[in-house]
């Protein structure tokens, strides 16, 4: 059984619309008009327990809406969802104890006057955690997220990075089995973001937690998610491994080659992206990579040669362009 099971999930928001001006404002008081925004359209996917999945897509693609439905905050327009075999929007206590939604934009609850430690005690009461388990979990989280120096501080006085570390620990002190992480590194400096990434990887490895993560930071996705689901306009555009995404949307690879010949010219072998002395970086269509490497090895005295996938950032850029083009052609 999958930990997360989503079938034909759709969500349409009703957004009030009115023209500008006082007359229109007065008319809207009497008869309000609405416009439908289809945020999620017939999404289907399953996630086995323990898997870490990147949930990607352009701004407005429907990621946060999906995570909110899975976390039981929103009721969808239609579709079937089971997370740990429960219907999220029924919000049973048992369910809420087994999952956590953590949003990088709002990592911590709404009691900014409490200290971090008080917030932990509040979580202990709310989630009915035994003293022994609470002490163990808090000690482990403090160590992994370096919380000792902020436990006595008021939440309102924390920096964004400290807030995110505290928010993650607060959400995980009751040991949820499924994590929905919505841009957990947004706005963080490179070291703080790395701390969060390392922590998420360790948490899921240690506890076997299932993780669905959205991020526009490709380093998060690259380091954490073997499987990627790409949504576009509320529908799934891709579901598979990172190399499969590359093969689908970025039809090229990079050949990095160092030759020891004098004054070599490698430009006929591919698009030259970089040249540094005798080291060349060539962009080559995927299907001619084997033939091109064979020709290079045959023609030059090669000191070093490697074939590289384009960066995930590059692949995503090409994927978004291609999806936009398809949409423009269809409209
Ligand atoms: N509360 C709401 N009321 C009306 N429309 C909404 C609401 N929340 C989101 N939307 C719309 O639904 C669509 C999907 O939004 P959503 O926030 O799920 O996208 P996203 O993929 O998370 O985007 P981003 O990467 O920018 O965070 C967008 O068109 C958005 O404007």
Tens digit of pLDDT for each residue in 121-162?
Answer: 999 999 999 999 999 999 999 998 889 999 999 999 999 889
pLDDT score, position 290: 95
* 211 occurs within a structural domain: yes
- Which ligand 1 atom is nearest residue 58's CA? 25
* 46 occurs within a structural domain: yes
- Which ligand 1 atom is nearest residue 68's CA? 18
Length of the chain: 331
pTM for the whole thing? 0.87
Whether 178 and 94 have beta carbons less than 8 Å apart is answered as: no
pLDDT score, position 327: 79
* 322 occurs within a structural domain: no
Give the pLDDT band (50/70/90) at residue 243: confident
For residues 20 and 156, membership in a common domain is answered with yes
- Nearest protein Cα to ligand 1, atom 1: 13
Task: State the Cα angle at 231 between 317 and 104, rounded to 5°.
Answer: 85
- The rounded Å distance from CA 239 to ligand 1 centre is 21
- Nearest protein Cα to ligand 1, atom 8: 65
For residues 238 and 198, membership in a common domain is answered with yes
For residues 81 and 118, membership in a common domain is answered with yes
* 48 occurs within a structural domain: yes
- The rounded Å distance from CA 224 to ligand 1 centre is 24
- The answer for residues whose C-beta is within 8 angstroms of residue 132's C-beta and 6 or more apart is none
Per the structure, the complete domain to which residue 84 belongs is given by 2-246
For residues 156 and 220, membership in a common domain is answered with yes
Site to probe by mutation for ligand 1, drawn from 13, 181, 213 as the one with most ligand atoms within 8 Å of Cβ, is: 13
For residues 298 and 151, membership in a common domain is answered with no
Query: By percentage, how much of the chain surpasses pLDDT 90?
Result: 73
- Nearest protein Cα to ligand 1, atom 20: 60
For residues 235 and 259, membership in a common domain is answered with no
Q: Higher-confidence residue: 28 or 168? A: 168
- The rounded Å distance from CA 208 to ligand 1 centre is 30
For residues 158 and 272, membership in a common domain is answered with no
Cα separation, 312 vs 242, whole angstroms: 8
Give the pLDDT band (50/70/90) at residue 49: very high
Ligand 1 pocket (Cβ < 6 Å) reads 13, 15, 37, 39, 57, 59-65
- Nearest protein Cα to ligand 1, atom 13: 39
Number of domains in the chain: 2
């Amino acid at each position: 059984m999958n930990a997360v099971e989503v079938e034909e999930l759709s969500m349409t928001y009703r957004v009030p619309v009115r023209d500008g001006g006082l007359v229109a404002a007065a008319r809207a008081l009497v008869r309000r008009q609405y416009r439908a925004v289809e945020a999620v359209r017939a999404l289907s996917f399953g996630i086995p327990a323990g898997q870490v999945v990147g949930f990607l897509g352009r701004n407005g693609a429907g990621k946060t809406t999906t995570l909110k439905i899975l976390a039981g905050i929103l009721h969808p327009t239609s579709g079937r969802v089971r997370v740990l075999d429960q219907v999220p929007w029924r919000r049973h206590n048992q369910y809420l104890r087994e999952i956590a939604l953590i949003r990088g934009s709002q990592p911590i609850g709404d009691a900014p006057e409490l200290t971090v430690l008080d917030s932990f005690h509040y979580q202990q009461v709310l989630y009915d955690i035994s003293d022994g388990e609470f002490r163990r979990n808090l000690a482990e989280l403090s160590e992994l997220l370096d919380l000792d120096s902020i436990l006595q501080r008021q939440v309102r006085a924390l920096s964004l990075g400290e807030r995110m570390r505290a928010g993650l620990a607060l959400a995980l002190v009751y040991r949820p089995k499924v994590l929905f992480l919505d841009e957990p590194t947004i706005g963080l400096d490179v070291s703080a973001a790395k701390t969060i990434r390392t922590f998420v990887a360790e948490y899921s490895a240690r506890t076997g937690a299932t993780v669905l993560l959205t991020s526009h930071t490709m380093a998060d996705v690259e380091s954490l998610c073997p499987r990627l689901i790409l949504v576009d306009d509320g529908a799934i555009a891709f579901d598979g491994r990172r190399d499969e995404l590359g093969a689908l949307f970025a039809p090229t690879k990079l050949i990095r080659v160092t030759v020891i010949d004098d004054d070599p010219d490698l430009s006929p072998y591919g698009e030259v992206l970089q040249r540094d002395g005798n080291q060349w970086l060539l962009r080559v269509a995927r299907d001619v990579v084997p033939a091109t490497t064979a020709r290079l090895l045959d023609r030059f005295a090669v000191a070093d040669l490697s074939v590289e996938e384009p960066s995930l950032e590059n692949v995503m850029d090409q994927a978004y362009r291609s999806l936009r083009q398809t949409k423009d052609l269809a409209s």
